[in-house]
Amino acid sequence: MGLQRRRFLTLAAAGMGTALFPQGLQLLYQRAAQGLPITTRGFGPLVKDPKGLLDLPAGFQYRVFSKLGDR
For residue 13, is it within any domain? yes
For residue 34, is it within any domain? yes
Check if the beta carbon of residue 7 is closer than 8 Å to that of residue 13: no
CA 48 to chain centre: 22
Full domain range(s) for residue 24? 5-57
Q: Over its length of 71 residues, how does the chain's per-residue pLDDT go in tens digits?
A: 567 888 888 888 887 777 767 777 788 888 888 888 877 778 889 999 999 999 999 999 999 988 888 77
Domain total in the chain = 1
- SS3 of residue 48 by DSSP: coil
For residue 62, is it within any domain? no
For residue 24, is it within any domain? yes
Comparing CA positions, the residue from 30, 71, 69, 67 lying closest to residue 51 is 67
Could you tell me the pTM of the whole model?
0.42
